[in-house]
Structure 1
Amino acid sequence: MTIAMVEPRATNTAGTSERLRSRMAAMKLMFHWLGTKKSLNAEQMSRAADAFDAERKFLSAGKKLFDTGDPDFRRVTAVKSQATTYYKSVSLPFPEPGVRLIRQDQVDTIHERMQSFREELAHAVQQLETRFSEVTLEARDRLGDLFNSSDYPTSLSDSFHIEWTFPTVEAPEYLRRLNPELYQQECDRVRAQFDEAVRLAESAFVEELGKLIDHLAERLSDSADGKVKVFRDTAITNFTEFFERFQSLNIGSNAELDALVDRARTVVSGVAPQTLRSSSELRDRITNQLANVQASLDGLMVDRPRRNIIR
């Protein structure tokens, strides 16, 4: 399988990866979350198979424990979504499962923000707790014979948690004393991981900018009946958020990418969504200029196998 990666023509990978390594810290965000679905037990599966005259081993079925559209339940899941979005907005990808890189000078700020998400979650869970018996009774009515009270906790206090850690991704220093050869192997592995992290960061920026351009171009194009399509203000404001994030997290690894981001910023800078809606001339100009940026972005991309990291 191949993945679109940034062609490193303008990248000094070794120097950049060391700069990334010196400026960033590893972080891992985790959620302990109450499951909302459960597989049917053997007896229920047999009954379901009989209903469809099917062989049990060829049937898979489950039940939904809660109405996830319930307003109080949605408030709980909204906190999870917001925390995840924030985490990704202040971090860069890293080739270690579940781990991302954050700026070292932002550790305190990010930690405090996660603390606030934890507090918001606790409040939302407390609200859901006050109605949990009602939510369970509603599930009993909806599930009928499939309802099993043991599927539901007696309390939600331990059912929803946000946790984050700052794991070390460097070679353990004690290996230098115990086994210098193994220590060197670990150093090489870590170096390769940060080399890959540089490429992953570039690819993520290129992909995100490309999607923003594609979305805006699609919204600016005329519909089949010749009418101007409706687009939300976010089609423009999302560019501003991207530029801010790029400026905050960019490590200057690719001069061509930096130049293209600057070109895109120049194109949309000062463009008001309402003006764009009312001016066909402006829409055409923005579309053509962004098309040129997109073509250059495509030139930065190449399909090639993801680099294997020795673990």
Structure 2
Amino acid sequence: MEIVMAVVVENELDTSSTQRLQSTMAAARLSFTWLGVRKSLSSHQRDQAADSFGAEGKFLSAGKKLLDTSHPAFKAVTAIRGQALHYWKGMSLPFPEPGIRLIRQDSIAHFDTRMAEFKEELDEAVIELDRHFAELRQAARSRLGELYNSDDYPPSLIGMFAIEHDYPSVEPPNYLRQLNPELYEQECRRMQSRFDEAIQLAEQAFLEEIARLVDHLAERLSGQGDGKPKVFRDSAIGNLTEFFERFRQLNVRSNPQLDELVDRARQIVTGIEPQQLRDNDTLRSQVATQLGAIQASLDGLLVDRPRRNILRRPR
């Protein structure tokens, strides 16, 4: 009887959390158009390369790099893609469909604005990269030798890079309600299971991140290296502070144990400056001990995850 009650409580928590997630979040998809800079060798070229090793061409995989991606102008373009991805992931929760994450509905306007800024920055960076295109092609001609082929390159790099975003529907189409009520209900159940899984993915991501951050700071604060206290960067605390804010904004309150541990960790480091920990050995030791206790509890939650997942599955 006790086990049955535990499952009921867990499922009730899941249901309310799922409903909260569905009512407050929106699906956001980020996609990229990106020039490929690597190309496979032709069969003839592959056979030539294989001959130098005494191998058969069909058993060899070989390619060539069309452009020097370490060029500052190319790195500037790539950096914008990385920044856009980091921003998207930082303000969203995972969703069990490729390329889709969940953002708060009240953050859509800000997300739109920031994506427009990224697109503008990318366009400017691509224009600058295009100014160096002839130089990059000439360098490729010198480095690739006989493998160089002008047909591998577009006339211009303008339009070869782009950032796109949209808000795909993750709800059953309403027209199914009239056309096929049974199929509509089936789709409703399928999408609810998707959101159930999204909650588990979010919990797991939050749990792994806080465990990693706490473990890193605790390890830096405890013990010594070469007879001296270990060195730690300000970011060891700054990253935790950023996590607490993101957790506050995105948490759907599906796991009370995780909520409690995050709150305890937040209370431990709130108001403490990195330099205080460097200057005050007593404070340093106290914080390390407190974080060690949090760390042990987080490790316990990580170990319990497989069993928790089994209990959460609807019967």
Please report the TM-score for the alignment, with normalisation by the length of structure 2: 0.90
1:1-311, aligned counterparts within 5 Å? 12-222=13-223, 225-301=226-302, 302-304=304-306
Whole-Å Cα distance in 1 between the matches of residues 44 and 260 of structure 2? 63
Q: Aligned with 2:141: secondary structure?
A: helix
Whole-Å Cα distance in 1 between the matches of residues 228 and 139 of structure 2? 46
Amino acid at match of 1:34: L
Gaps spanning 5+ residues in structure 2: where?
Answer: 1-6
C-alpha deviation, 1:21, in angstroms: 0.2
Cα pair 1:45 1:59 within 8 Å, conserved: yes
When residues 71 and 293 of structure 1 are mapped into structure 2, their CA distance, relative to the original with a 3 A threshold, is: same
C-alpha deviation, 1:257, in angstroms: 1.2
Whole-Å Cα distance in 2 between the matches of residues 76 and 265 of structure 1? 37
Whole-Å Cα distance in 1 between the matches of residues 298 and 139 of structure 2? 52
The structure where helix makes up a greater share of residues is 2
Cα pair 1:24 1:103 within 8 Å, conserved: yes
C-alpha deviation, 1:94, in angstroms: 0.8
CA RMSD after TM alignment: 2.1
Whole-Å Cα distance in 1 between the matches of residues 233 and 142 of structure 2? 40
Amino acid at match of 1:44: Q
Whole-Å Cα distance in 2 between the matches of residues 169 and 56 of structure 1? 47
Cα pair 1:10 1:255 within 8 Å, conserved: no
C-alpha deviation, 1:287, in angstroms: 2.0
Identify the range of structure 1 (263-272 vs 182-191) with the bigger mean alpha-carbon deviation: 263-272
Whole-Å Cα distance in 2 between the matches of residues 127 and 230 of structure 1? 40
C-alpha deviation, 1:223, in angstroms: 5.8
Cα pair 1:40 1:61 within 8 Å, conserved: yes
Cα pair 1:32 1:159 within 8 Å, conserved: yes
Q: Aligned with 2:189: secondary structure?
A: helix
Matched residue count: 302
When residues 158 and 199 of structure 1 are mapped into structure 2, their CA distance, relative to the original with a 3 A threshold, is: same
Q: Aligned with 2:64: secondary structure?
A: strand
Amino acid at match of 2:55: A
When residues 164 and 44 of structure 1 are mapped into structure 2, their CA distance, relative to the original with a 3 A threshold, is: same
State the partner residue of 1:3.
none
Amino acid at match of 2:170: V
Q: Aligned with 1:304: secondary structure?
A: helix
Amino acid at match of 2:278: R
Amino acid at match of 2:102: L
Please report the TM-score for the alignment, with normalisation by the length of structure 1: 0.91
Whole-Å Cα distance in 1 between the matches of residues 280 and 59 of structure 2? 58
Structure 1 residues 10-66: Cα deviation after superposition (integer angstroms, max 9, x where no partner): 970001100110000011000110112111111111111111112223221211111
Q: Aligned with 1:12: secondary structure?
A: helix
When residues 220 and 9 of structure 1 are mapped into structure 2, their CA distance, relative to the original with a 3 A threshold, is: farther
Cα pair 1:25 1:101 within 8 Å, conserved: yes
When residues 148 and 220 of structure 1 are mapped into structure 2, their CA distance, relative to the original with a 3 A threshold, is: farther
When residues 257 and 116 of structure 1 are mapped into structure 2, their CA distance, relative to the original with a 3 A threshold, is: same
Q: Aligned with 1:155: secondary structure?
A: coil
C-alpha deviation, 1:116, in angstroms: 0.3
When residues 222 and 68 of structure 1 are mapped into structure 2, their CA distance, relative to the original with a 3 A threshold, is: farther
Whole-Å Cα distance in 1 between the matches of residues 139 and 273 of structure 2? 47
More contact order relative to length (CA 8 Å, sep ≥ 6): 1
Gaps spanning 5+ residues in structure 1: where?
Answer: 1-6
Q: Aligned with 1:35: secondary structure?
A: coil
